[in-house]
Amino acid sequence: MSHRTRSFFISCLLLLVVGQYATAQSDDDAVAEQTVTAEQTDDASDEPVSADAQAAQAAALAQKLANPVASLISVPIQINYDDNYGLNDKGSVWRTNVQPVIPISLNDDWNMISRTIIPIVKQSDVPIPGVSESGIGDVVQSVFFSPKKPTDGGLIWGVGPVINIPTSTKETLGPEAWAAGPTGLVLKQSGPWTYGALANHLWSFAKEDKTEINASFIQPFVSYITPKKLTYYINTESTYNWETKDWSVPINFGANQLMKVGNQIMQVGGGLRYWAESSEMGPEGWGVRMNIIFVFPT
């Protein structure tokens, strides 16, 4: 089975599973709201939380998950599959990004939000046919300083530093370079809608590094939360490499369902992506993404 055919079947299966779950959610309003309660009720209390209160808590939690600088501890795990890599378009890459998000209250007005991306990579026939490797790539650490309250116009924003840490276990799994620069984001939430953009720029600064990094990243995003707390999203994760003068532009779209399994609140879902532009050795065509986000309300 070719890489393109395999990717197509994986994508179809993922959409079928997500669609079946979303349909099952719509069959029972009461169960849907009970399973996404954002805060635990006191077991000793004689007064149960009303359905309206549960719905409001779930809606607030879903909105926080759509906000990258919300005061919410979460551990997103993002599994990506892309193919058509390399000189003969036969290469493929599985990339699992573990992305813990930890907010820290600095004072009554400001939060500091730590966002870490730890990539676990398995690639076949990349960068050349016959070469297959797996391991950890370079870690990207961002820190945002963000006001606790939106502006008078309803804008939510955050700025801070970003750093690329050369943690790759194999030289083909990451640039193996120290790099740093600024990062920032701005967004607005209006009812079920969230829209905004995140951006950063990285420059390498250690002369002994094997690879020069001079890259700009921009991620405009839009999401919509349904009454069943199913969040539809679309974004791009575009990178411009100033050294090679080329763009990588994947367009991602999909859906994540808020749910509760036992005592654990989480979002589960996924979607597809299309590579509108990529580097000479980069992926082409369609890819697939699966998401699971463990949520720990503060």
Phi-psi region of 84 (alpha: psi -120 to 50; beta: other; left: phi over 0): left
The pLDDT value given to residue 41: 42
Does the pLDDT at position 66 exceed 70? Answer: yes
Domain boundaries along the sequence of the chain: 3-296
- Classify domain 3-296 at the CATH class level: mainly beta
Does the pLDDT at position 1 exceed 90? Answer: no
Where residue 280 falls among pLDDT bands split at 50, 70, 90?
confident
The pLDDT value given to residue 48: 60
The pLDDT value given to residue 6: 44
What would the mean pLDDT of 251-276 be, rounded to a whole number?
96
Coil/strand/helix, residue 128: coil
More confident residue, 84 or 54: 84
Tens of pLDDT, residue by residue over 228-248, are 999 999 999 999 999 999 999
Q: What is the number of helices (H) and of strands (E) in the chain?
A: 3, 15
Question: Per the structure block, which two tokens stand in for 118?
Answer: 């730890």
Phi-psi region of 276 (alpha: psi -120 to 50; beta: other; left: phi over 0): alpha
CA-nearest of 112, 172, 106 to 141 is 112
Give dist(CA 126, CA 91) in Å, integer: 5
CA angle in degrees (0–180, nearest 5) for 268-35-194: 55
Query: Contact at 8 Å (CB) between 172 and 123?
Result: yes
CA dihedral 61, 65, 68, 73 (to 10 degrees): 70
Tens of pLDDT, residue by residue over 86-128, are 878 889 999 999 999 999 999 999 999 999 999 999 999 887 8
The pLDDT value given to residue 8: 43
More confident residue, 41 or 219: 219
Question: Per the structure block, which two tokens stand in for 261?
Answer: 């399994």
What would the mean pLDDT of 54-63 be, rounded to a whole number?
84
Does the pLDDT at position 47 exceed 70? Answer: no
- State the sign of the Cα–Cα–Cα–Cα dihedral 79, 83, 87, 88: positive
- Work out the mean pLDDT of the chain and round it to a whole number: 85
Does the pLDDT at position 169 exceed 50? Answer: yes
More confident residue, 23 or 177: 177
Tens of pLDDT, residue by residue over 124-164, are 988 788 888 999 999 999 999 999 999 999 999 999 999 99
Residue type at position 228: K
Structure letter (DSSP) for residue 41: P
The pLDDT value given to residue 176: 84
Does the pLDDT at position 201 exceed 60? Answer: yes
The pLDDT value given to residue 131: 83
Where residue 49 falls among pLDDT bands split at 50, 70, 90?
low
**Top-ranked range on mean pLDDT: pick from 45-49, 192-196, 204-208:** 192-196
Output phi, psi for 240, to 5 deg. Answer: -110, 120
Cα 217 from chain centroid (whole Å): 14
Structure letter (DSSP) for residue 127: S
The pLDDT value given to residue 115: 97
